[in-house]
Amino acid sequence: MTSIMIHLDSVEKVKSFVNIISVFDGEYDLGSDRYVVDAKSIMGIFSLDLSKPLRLDIHDERELEKVQQKLAEFAITNS
């Protein structure tokens, strides 16, 4: 499993994120504090605190590079 930190601070970003992640097979979870939801569930995502960074857990690493490329606009970098 690989985890990346992302930020979804608007309704448009959430919609775009779900549209992108839904294309990929496999399981993806989003976590905030102790809450974890299915990353493909728009309703689940809106139940999280979107003012904070979210942890995207990628359980199937076969398409890891493609997923990371497609989601680069949401990723939080440590620069």
pLDDT, one tens digit per residue, over 2-15 is 999 999 999 999 99
Reported as a pLDDT band with limits 50, 70 and 90, residue 56 is very high
Q: For residue 77, what pLDDT is reported?
A: 78
pLDDT above 50 (res 79): no
pTM of structure: 0.89
Q: Are strands 2-6 and 28-32 parallel, antiparallel or unpaired?
A: unpaired
Q: Give the SS3 label for residue 75.
A: strand
CA neighbours closer than 13 Å in the CB half-sphere of residue 72: 4
Positions of E strands within the chain: 2-6, 28-32, 35-38, 54-58
CA distances from 18 to 24, 39, 53 (A): 10, 7, 16
Q: Which amino acid is at 51?
A: S
